């Protein structure tokens, strides 16, 4: 067993069942170019190489890169990049390798401590969405995070992260993966998720405003939305807007769907604008 480095979140997946589930969720075909983040010892990489046209893997650990080059370096459709995925400009690095350019799918068992930054790099943010839409992103993540990413409104796991990510991608919970599926086992359970990035049908008029509204709205989970937004929006104006959108005045932040968050932001943004402009006009 290859030794592990804690600082890189290394837990080798050893369950064939989990591996099969990850690979089938990516629905790979001969035209797919996959980007894998953190190939580790290459267990998942081998499966991807068998089904995809090309696989680019980004691994931060120099020793693992040596091992991977020895193991997989001779395979035609494999390209290994050594470095921190968060810091690398992958598109730029792939320029000399036309066969590997523009990966359309991501498949990875990622280090859990950088899940947020990885998602942000892949999807962008509400204010700055990634203009290049990946076809799908299949990830093994901490179960708690998977539940939040895939939660529907009105459920306990639905929070600011759910709204921010679901604005940019459709999120599906695929399956649970127990801690014992890894060597060494992590302290938490895991899950496979699939994200399909999409251009939102009705984008926010002012995406920055929506981002701030979500942050303020979810600032205290136990409070009603109205109370969380008290300092941001005039309470009478907010009551009027909530009523016009058919949103219960007692609603909490987790009761609103992504579409309702967008509507709310759009209304507040345009009415605030009017309120500011009207005295002068």
Supply the angle between the helices 258-277 and 207-217 in degrees, to the nearest 10.
110
Q: Number of C-alpha atoms within 13 angstroms, CB side, residue 84?
A: 7
Report 63-92 residues binding ligand SAH (CB under 6 A). Answer: 64, 84-86
Q: Tokens 């035609």 — which residue?
A: 76
- Out of 79, 100, 109, 165, which residue is the one contacting ligand SAH (CB under 6 A)? 109
Binding mask 12-31 for ligand SAH (x = CB under 6 A): xx------------------
Does 38 engage in binding with ligand SAH (CB under 6 A)?
A: yes
By beta-carbon proximity to ligand SAH, the closer residue of 111 and 153 is 111
**Total binding residues for ligand SAH by CB under 6 A?**
24
By beta-carbon proximity to ligand SAH, the closer residue of 12 and 269 is 12
Find the shortest distance in angstroms from Cβ 57 to ligand SAH.
9
d(CA 160, CA 27): 29
Find the shortest distance in angstroms from Cβ 85 to ligand SAH.
4
Strand-pair partners of 4: none
- Out of 15, 21, 24, 43, which residue is the one contacting ligand SAH (CB under 6 A)? 43
d(CA 42, CA 48): 10
Supply the angle between the helices 16-25 and 43-51 in degrees, to the nearest 10.
40
Binding positions for ligand SAH, rule: CB under 6 A? 8-13, 37-41, 43-44, 58-61, 64, 84-86, 109, 111, 114
């Amino acid at each position: 067993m290859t030794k592990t480095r804690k600082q890189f979140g290394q837990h080798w997946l050893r369950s064939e069942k989990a591996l099969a589930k990850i690979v089938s969720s990516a629905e790979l075909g001969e035209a797919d170019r996959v980007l894998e983040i953190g190939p580790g010892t290459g267990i998942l990489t081998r499966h991807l190489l068998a089904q995809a046209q090309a696989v680019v893997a980004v691994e931060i650990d120099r020793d693992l890169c040596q091992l991977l080059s020895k193991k997989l370096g001779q395979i035609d459709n494999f390209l290994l990049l050594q470095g921190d995925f968060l810091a690398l400009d992958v598109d730029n690095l792939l320029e000399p390798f036309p066969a590997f350019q523009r990966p359309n799918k991501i498949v990875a068992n990622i280090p859990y401590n950088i899940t947020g930054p990885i998602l942000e790099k892949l999807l962008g943010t509400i204010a700055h969405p990634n203009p290049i839409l990946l076809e799908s992103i299949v990830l093994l993540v901490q179960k708690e995070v998977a539940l939040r990413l895939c939660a529907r409104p009105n459920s306990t796991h639905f929070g600011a992260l759910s709204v921010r990510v679901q604005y940019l991608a459709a999120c599906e919970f695929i399956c649970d993966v127990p801690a014992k599926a890894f060597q060494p086992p992590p302290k938490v359970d895991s899950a496979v998720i699939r994200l399909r990035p999409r251009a939102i049908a009705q984008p926010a008029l002012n995406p920055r405003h929506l981002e701030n509204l979500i942050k303020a709205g979810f600032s205290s989970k136990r409070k009603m939305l109205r109370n969380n937004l008290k300092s941001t929006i005039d309470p009478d104006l907010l009551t009027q807007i909530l009523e016009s959108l058919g949103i219960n005045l007692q609603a909490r932040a987790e009761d609103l769907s992504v579409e309702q968050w967008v509507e709310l932001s759009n209304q507040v943004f345009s009415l605030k604008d009017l309120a500011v402009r009207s005295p002068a006009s």
